[in-house]
Amino acid sequence: MKIPDYIGSLAFGLKMGVILPGMDIVDEVLEALSHCSRDGLLGDNDVICITESVVARAQNNYITVDDIAREIKDKLGLLEDSRLAVVYPIASRNRFSLILKGLARAVPRGEVIVQFSYPADEVGNQVIDPEFAQKLGKEIIVFEDLGGSSFKHPVTGVDYINLYREIIAEEGATPIIVLSNNPQTVLEHDPAGAIAADIHTRAVTWKAISERFENCITLEQVFTGGEAYSEWGLLGSNMSSGERLKLAPREGKELVKKLQSRIKEEFGFDVQVMIYGDGAYLDPTSGIYELADPRAAFAATDGLNCLREGVKYKYLADQCYHEEQKTAEEIEAILSESTSRETAQDSMEREGTTPRRMEDVLASLADLVSGSADAGTPVVVIKSFLA
């Protein structure tokens, strides 16, 4: 089976069996791709995308809540009755609830000050109703200001302020909730240690806190070594089962290069490979930026280190037809010639074609194809996108 010439870019998921800890993910992906090769569905310039979840699972890259408590106590020099500041966590059960449980377990007789940005976290999860916050007219909102009001997430229906308070209290620590868009506000509570818990803005938050307070780390600075670890630390981790979290994949660059090489050896094709996470897109209905991972692609081969650019077909077609009275055949020839030659970034031919990182675009496409539940297709093949 060959892809017909009249089909352009194409993306499809590959069904695979369950991937378990200890399996060789490269061998498993090669087995799945062997069927594609047999049926003429694999070729040069294809992009092979593997979801981060199966890579990390095969690597047995798991930690526990107790591991988090020990690591944080060690990194920040905390005592059981210390006061710990957690600044700008995202509102997510999957992404942060078990992390928060571990942080609270590190100070079971102390306090955990959670400072949210408002009205939403950095990826668009609503923490407090914007109109309510506006009526309060305060730069710093404390829990008592809420007057018992409950603010449920518009999609999940969860009240994250109260959920996070309950998680902290269950570990024996005292929860203190603050809403402020100034990272330094939390320092008014005189913490013993602080964590810049945001994802994409972590460097800015860490810098702001560190200007006045030395004992501050980011989630990226923990679990960077040991039996289970990731170059991303706790960033990109997900709730697993019980009190277990799955970290982001480790040594991703080495893995994608190895798989690229093996595909060339086994099937004779030059392909690109990536490990993808959340898609980098903003949901227009909920206003949520889906990218809760530190980046859309945890690792990618060198051929994807480029910008996706192109020629504005619809502009050229209209220009040639309305202004130059070209025929359909003449327009087709012009369009074909335009795609094969260099054009200046600010030329009219590129009008409206905003350059985007290739790996972000492809990771987002792969995430949409596989779906958040992976749909049993943890490997996505993208064809005719690079060629």
Half-sphere exposure of 72 (CA within 13 A, CB side): 34
Give the model's pLDDT for residue 271.
97
Give the model's pLDDT for residue 356.
80
| Strand arrangement, sheet containing 238-239 | 62-64, 244-246, 238-239
Half-sphere exposure of 68 (CA within 13 A, CB side): 28
Give the model's pLDDT for residue 275.
98
**Angle 45-50-53 from CA coordinates, rounded to 5°:** 170
* Placement of tokens 């699972």 in the chain: 57
Give the model's pLDDT for residue 4.
84
Whether 199 and 90 have beta carbons less than 8 Å apart is answered as yes
| Strand arrangement, sheet containing 297-300 | 10-14, 379-383, 47-51, 272-276, 297-300
DSSP 319: I
Residues of the chain where predicted confidence (pLDDT) is lower than 50: 340-352
DSSP string, 136-196: HT-SEEEGGGGTT-----TTT---HHHHHHHHHHHTTPEEEEEEES-GGGGGGG--SEEEE
pTM exceeding 0.85: yes
The string of pLDDT tens digits covering residues 349-368 is 444 456 788 999 999 999 99
Other beta carbons less than 10 A from residue 12's beta carbon: 13
Give the model's pLDDT for residue 350.
44
